[in-house]
């Protein structure tokens, strides 16, 4: 498989990191594969599992050399980007480039303004403070697909939904953040990653990125690299 890249004509980003943007989006589509996948509950973000649990290999079909950009826990749902473009993977996952990830999060109890402010400003997880986040308490529950395994309801414990946008992706970060302010996560759905969304997909469904989506994604990555190098 032939890779057709050119370096962006800007100064290198810190630590020599830069994004190799294609001159033509169509050429990049021929060189690499890009899929958006709506990961269902209970599915691992990998293609094999010695324990026999559901994996990505049960869906698709996907090319053998694609892998997910970042991970969602088995008990989390939502958007996964699958690709064999390693430059893109690096730039989307490096927190220094600050690409948004948005989640719908169902939590126990109804968060007050103090809890929401803590999530926005950052909470300390395992000795390190999270970056500032966008947080919004939803006034009504969002319209989302039913989960194959219902959440644990407790009769005397109300629940609420928040929309949370992060620019980093630490291990089980959302769950640890909400737990740290007294609101354990009951359900977690990633609805977007950068400019990519779940529009038109149901759990278990996937599609190749449209030319327009890839063009927007490449443009965003290039801008983030330029901001970091300036």
Per-residue model confidence (pLDDT) at position 13: 38
For residues 63 and 119, membership in a common domain is answered with: no
Whether 73 is a known active-site residue: answer yes
Give the pLDDT mean for 76-82.
98
From 5, 73, 75, 100, the catalytic residue: 73
Give the pLDDT mean for 191-210.
96
| Number of domains into which the chain is organized | 2
State phi, psi for 33 to the nearest 5 degrees.
-115, 140
Residue 162 pLDDT exceeds 50:
yes
For residues 155 and 189, membership in a common domain is answered with: yes
Domain of 188, CATH number, reads 3.30.70.1560
For residues 212 and 153, membership in a common domain is answered with: no
Residue 71 pLDDT exceeds 50:
yes
With beta carbons less than 8 A apart as the criterion, state whether 77 and 147 touch: yes
C-alpha dihedral sign at 137, 113, 170, 49: negative
Model-level pTM greater than 0.85? yes
For residues 41 and 78, membership in a common domain is answered with: yes
Please give the structure tokens belonging to residue 49.
Answer: 């599992």
Sorting pLDDT into bands at 50, 70 and 90, what band is 230? low
Residue 80 lies in a domain: yes
Range of the domain at 158: 100-193
Residue 7 lies in a domain: no
Residue 160 pLDDT exceeds 70:
yes
**Per-residue pLDDT tens digits for 96-113:** 888 999 999 999 999 999
CA distances from 18 to 7, 85, 97, 101, 184 (A): 8, 14, 10, 21, 38
**Per-residue pLDDT tens digits for 4-59:** 343 334 333 333 334 444 445 767 777 899 999 999 999 999 999 999 999 999 99
For residues 189 and 203, membership in a common domain is answered with: no
Residue 197 pLDDT exceeds 50:
yes
């Amino acid at each position: 498989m032939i890779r057709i890249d050119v370096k962006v004509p800007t100064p290198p980003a810190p630590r020599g990191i830069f994004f190799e943007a294609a001159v033509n989006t169509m050429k990049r589509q021929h060189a690499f594969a890009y899929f958006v996948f709506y990961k269902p509950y209970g599915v691992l973000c990998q293609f094999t599992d010695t324990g026999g649990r559901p994996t990505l290999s049960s869906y698709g079909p996907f090319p053998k050399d694609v892998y997910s950009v970042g991970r969602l826990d088995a008990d989390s749902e939502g958007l996964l980007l699958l690709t064999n473009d390693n430059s893109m993977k690096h730039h989307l996952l490096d927190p220094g480039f600050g690409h948004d990830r948005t989640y719908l999060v169902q939590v126990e109890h109804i968060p007050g303004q103090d809890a929401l402010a803590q999530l926005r400003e950052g909470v300390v997880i395992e000795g390190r403070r999270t970056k500032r986040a966008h947080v919004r308490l939803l006034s009504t529950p969002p319209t989302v697909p039913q989960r194959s395994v219902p959440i644990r309801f407790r009769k005397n414990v109300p629940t609420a939904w928040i929309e949370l946008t992060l620019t980093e992706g630490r291990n089980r970060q959302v769950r640890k953040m909400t737990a740290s302010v007294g609101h354990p996560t009951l359900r977690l759905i990633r609805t977007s990653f950068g400019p990519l969304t779940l529009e038109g997909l149901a759990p278990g469904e996937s599609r190749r990125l449209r030319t327009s989506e890839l063009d927007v994604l490449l443009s965003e990555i290039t801008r983030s690299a330029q901001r970091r190098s300036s």
